[in-house]
Amino acid sequence: MKTLEQINEVLESIRPALRSDGGDIEFVDFDETAGVLQLRFLGACGDCPISEVTLRQGIERRILTAVPQVREVRAH
């Protein structure tokens, strides 16, 4: 499976939880050389004061575990 397909698969598994709170997450870019994935929070997640916690403890942890090519996840 290609890296982008793996990333999208993980994002799809996360989306229901984000959507239940009125938000979502969007793929922005993946730099294969640096291993940096950029995502954008949408809806309620865009203004949420704990979105950074969600990014680090939830989203990034799951992506790093499932997609070894990703070394870091950043909110864009």
pLDDT tens digits along 19-69? 998 999 999 999 999 999 999 999 888 888 888 888 888 899 999 999 999
What's the domain range around 40?
3-75
The domain that holds 55 is classified in CATH as: 3.30.300.130
Q: Which helix (H) or strand (E) holds 37?
A: strand 36-43
Question: Which residue in the block uniquely carries the two structure tokens 């309620």?
Answer: 44
Count: domains in the chain:
1
- Is 1 a residue whose pLDDT tops 80? no
Bridge partners, residue 43, by sequence: 23
